[in-house]
Amino acid sequence: MTTHNEQLFNDSQKLIPGGVNSPVRAFRSVGGTPLFFKRGKGAYVWDADDKKYIDYVNSWGPMIVGHCHPEVVKAVQDAAAEGLGFGAPTAAELDIAQMLCKILPSLEMVRLVSSGTEATMTAIRLARGFTSRSRIIKFEGCYHGHSDGLLVKAGSGALTFGQPSSSGVPTEIAALTTVLDYNDAAGLEKAFAEYGDEIAAVIVEPVAGNMNLILPKRDFLDAMRSLCTKHGSVLILDEVMSGFRVGLQGAHGHFGIKPDLITLGKVMGGGLPAAAFGGRRDIMQCLAPLGAVYQAGTLSGNPVAVAAGLTTLKLVQAPGFYERLTQLTKQMTEGLTQVAKKHGIAFSAQSIGSMFGLYFSANVPTSYAEVMAADKEAFNRFFHAMLDEGVYLAPSAFEAGFVSSAHTEADIAATIAAADKIFAGWK
Ligand code: KE4
């Protein structure tokens, strides 16, 4: 008997490439039929066949206060009742700009956009305009959205598909992007020694979440900061995912590294299309209409999306919010590690703030190469077995997971119990 998910997927594939509006949703990496969700509430989502799951994807990060938080929904309803969009400035955009600059002192100025891709694409253009240079440095396995120059050995969906570079990107553009190894300070120093004064920007996920979760090494971050300062290159910290997830001040606040520009998204939109980039005033003032670097957006600062983001940003500043979330996430990764060990499974896990990584490898990976060496097939098997147990993990071995403030100790215990049952029967 065809399930509703299967029927929806069959029909969607006739009109939408791969049946999805973003590749990683297609389950091509893990196999099987993608889930079509119909409802979310708190820590839970329900698919088209009314099966309930504990959700650890959180819409790929945004739903840090859980699905349909009443205060977020009300703020959206109230804003929508006043207007869905004006293409003109609104007071709410000033409110969220003030909120972002208060939370993140490195933000002297900020510009709102509608997606993380727009944020990173524009930050790169801004760095090139500010420095009058063209070359950029990124790191293999890091994903910064799908603008041409950044789809070179990207992570997330591109990595999942095993096509590290996308077709359709002109070689002339890809040639301006140097791809180095994440956490390799020596490699970065060598690149700067060779052509440091040609480098417009270094863009990095200060905590990598698109090749599964990889934490930065101290010397890697320190080298990046000092080399960019020495050579007049712009350090862009892409905190679209790690921002407000690692902690209130993101990865750069956690590790104490000062960016020149930061890109933000996901949590700051509360699930709706709001993202941003910002940083040093002298760089941001190069942006139109003040300066010669052009960027624009019909929906930038959309009042309904801003209402969702602003309310979410207020909620995450509640006393003890991150302490509880960090503890709950750690409890889960430690619990999963213990049950895997009990059953002799080569498995490891780690967390930082409300982000976590699960790996079918004996040790936690610290590099792209180590992530790629983990047992992807074992992950895919675990993913489907957890789905059967009502636990929704990211449908790819190359994605980080997320816990929300709506998750309870009971949800974490149920997740660990599900893994224990699966590993007990693991041959
Ligand atoms: P969007 O254009 O998808 O809003 O943001 C792009 C982006 C930029 N930078 C980082 C660090 C990101 O993680 C992302 C998007 N993340 C992926 C999930 N790993 C989005 C999910 C998807 O592509 O469907």
CA 1, CA 417: separation in Å to the nearest integer?
30
250, 269, 138, 289: CA torsion to nearest 10: -110
Q: What DSSP string runs through 319-330?
A: TTHHHHHHHHHH
> What is the atom index within ligand 1 of the atom nearest the CA of 24?
24
> What is the atom index within ligand 1 of the atom nearest the CA of 275?
4
Which residues approach ligand 1 with their CB closer than 6 A?
Answer: 22, 24, 60, 115-117, 120, 143-145, 156-157, 205, 209-210, 238, 240-241, 265, 275, 399
Query: How many A from CA of 144 to the centre of ligand 1?
Result: 7
Instruction: Provide the 3-class DSSP secondary structure of residue 83.
Output: coil
CATH code, domain with 10: 3.90.1150.10
* Residues 49 and 75 placed together within one structural domain of the fold: no
* Residues 280 and 325 placed together within one structural domain of the fold: no
* Residues 18 and 85 placed together within one structural domain of the fold: no
CA 119, CA 265: separation in Å to the nearest integer?
8
Q: Which of 24, 25, 60 to mutate to test the pocket of ligand 1 (most atoms within 8 A of CB)?
A: 60
Give the burial class of 315: count Cβ atoms within 10 A of its Cβ; 0-12 exposed, 13-18 middle, 19 or more buried.
Answer: middle
| Number of C-beta neighbours around residue 319 at 10 A | 6
* Residues 238 and 383 placed together within one structural domain of the fold: no
* Residues 199 and 327 placed together within one structural domain of the fold: no
pTM above threshold 0.95: yes
* Residues 12 and 134 placed together within one structural domain of the fold: no
Query: How many A from CA of 13 to the centre of ligand 1?
Result: 22
> What is the atom index within ligand 1 of the atom nearest the CA of 400?
19
* Residues 142 and 195 placed together within one structural domain of the fold: yes
CA 73, CA 67: separation in Å to the nearest integer?
9
**Identified catalytic residue from 184, 238, 260, 411:** 238
* Residues 283 and 141 placed together within one structural domain of the fold: yes
CA 96, CA 275: separation in Å to the nearest integer?
11
Q: What DSSP string runs through 352-373?
A: ETTEEEEESSSS---SHHHHHH
Domain count for the chain = 2
> What is the atom index within ligand 1 of the atom nearest the CA of 155?
19
238 is catalytic: yes
CA 270, CA 151: separation in Å to the nearest integer?
26
Q: 39-68 b/e with 16+ CB inside 10 Å = b?
A: ebebbbbbbbeebebbbbbbbbbbbbbbbe
Find out whether 28 and 18 touch, Cβ atoms under 8 Å. yes
44 is catalytic: no
Instruction: Enter the tokens of residue 380.
Output: 């895919």
230 is catalytic: no
Domain stop point among 295, 315, 335: 315
Residues whose CB is less than 8 angstroms from the CB of residue 82 and which lie 6 or more positions away in sequence, other chains included = 303
Nearest to 333 by CA among 240, 250, 252, 419: 419
* Residues 168 and 214 placed together within one structural domain of the fold: yes
Q: What is the pLDDT along the chain (427 residues), one digit of tens a residue?
A: 889 999 999 999 999 999 999 999 999 999 999 999 999 999 999 999 999 999 999 999 999 999 999 999 999 999 999 999 999 999 999 999 999 999 998 999 999 999 999 999 999 999 999 999 999 999 999 999 999 999 987 666 555 443 447 888 888 888 889 999 999 999 999 999 999 999 999 999 999 999 999 999 999 999 999 999 999 999 999 999 999 999 999 999 999 999 999 999 999 999 999 999 999 999 999 999 999 999 999 999 999 999 999 999 999 999 999 999 999 999 999 999 999 999 999 999 999 999 999 999 999 999 999 999 999 999 999 999 999 999 999 999 999 999 999 999 999 999 999 999 999 999 8
Give the burial class of 409: count Cβ atoms within 10 A of its Cβ; 0-12 exposed, 13-18 middle, 19 or more buried.
Answer: exposed
CA 322, CA 302: separation in Å to the nearest integer?
28
Domain stop point among 315, 341, 364: 315
* Residues 46 and 121 placed together within one structural domain of the fold: no
Q: Tell me the residue range of the domain where 159 lies.
A: 70-315
CATH code, domain with 262: 3.40.640.10
Instruction: Provide the 3-class DSSP secondary structure of residue 421.
Output: helix
Query: How many A from CA of 212 to the centre of ligand 1?
Result: 13
Domain stop point among 283, 315, 347: 315
First to last CA, the chain: 30
* Residues 59 and 157 placed together within one structural domain of the fold: no
Query: How many A from CA of 146 to the centre of ligand 1?
Result: 8
* Residues 56 and 90 placed together within one structural domain of the fold: no
